[in-house]
Amino acid sequence: MKKTREEKLKTEKKKTSALYWKNMRPYYLMLLPGLILIIIFRFCPLYGMLVAFKDYDMFRGFSESPWVGLKWFRILFESRDFYNILRNTLVISFLDLIFTFFGSIVFAILINEIQGRRYKKLVQTVSYLPHFLSWVVVGGLVIQLLSSDSFLVRSVADMLNIAPKNILLEQQYFFPVIVVAEMWKSIGWGTILFLAAMSGISPELYEAARVDGAGKFKQIWYITLPGIKFIMVIQLLMRIGGIMNVGFEKVFVLQNSMILDVAEVFSTYNYKVGIGQWNMSFSSALSFFESLTNFILVFVFDRIAKLLGEEGLL
């Protein structure tokens, strides 16, 4: 009997599928260790989120601790510290997004416009170096630089004819200080992906623009920025997805008891409550709120990006 057309198509599909798995098997085997690590360290710990809904007692264990529902979430939202910490976290995150993220784009464009190849590599290397410094080191440098007896502070105070003071003990200076420190440490490293995307833009586009009389600004606006738009959108979505995670080290090393009203964020507060006071249930509820908020933000902005015709993450 002759095979029908559907049977032939099924046979061809099976052959194609078998050939695909035969060719791709080594690559999937290479991915397997990473996939196992992700499952162990990313997905398995999700079971621990149930601690946020229990009155966890280390002596009774996870399974024997009583279920309390939304008790810790009510305590969290009714706490007067919660909204203050939320404000500080959002302010630092948005300042970091504006000055560090968009600053990285501007800095990448400036580096891309450098003509000398050696000088360009030198600028790139020097701008990358602060990224490899620990926040403990950076925090120590900032504290020494802004203390009341530092040369910089005394010089500025003498110029203004005022008494020198410790900048990090003044609440109004904390946000600018931490943003400037973050820019110095991260802005160079943040240019890597943008520079890589710029290198893929055809030089013929710039040549055609110059022939048409377009200046540098117009070349950047109509060629460079559209050429890196995809990377910009993806990086922006990833930044938004971590907007509640300011970063523990950079805040913790610069905060002190005089400026806690503006220097306490979710990550440092979580550490003090979870480790310092051993209130694991309250700490888990706080972490659950952070993760859920980050997911909602990235989901919403991903949908907005797709409505605007851009590629998203999800």
Give a yes or no: residue 220 inside a domain. yes
Give a yes or no: residue 276 inside a domain. yes
Residue 105 pLDDT greater than 80, yes or no: yes
Q: Is 255 helix (H, G, I), strand (E, B) or coil?
A: coil
The boundaries of the domain holding residue 214 are 56-307
Give a yes or no: residue 25 inside a domain. no
For 267, counting Cβ atoms within 10 Å of its Cβ (0-12 exposed, 13-18 middle, 19+ buried), the class is buried
Give a yes or no: residue 146 inside a domain. yes
Give a yes or no: residue 34 inside a domain. no
- Give how far Cα 88 sits from Cα of 135, 139, 312, Å: 19, 19, 28
Residue 301 maps to which CATH number?
1.10.3720.10
Give a yes or no: residue 47 inside a domain. no
Q: Residue 54 forms beta bridges with which residues?
A: 67
Residues of the chain with pLDDT > 70, as a percent, come to 96
Question: What's the pLDDT at 305?
Answer: 84
Q: Residue 67 forms beta bridges with which residues?
A: 54
Give a yes or no: residue 23 inside a domain. no
Please state whether the predicted TM-score (pTM) of the whole model is above 0.85: no
- Average pLDDT on 236-258 reads 89
pLDDT tens digits, residue range 166-179?
A: 888 888 999 999 99
Tally the domains of the chain.
Answer: 1
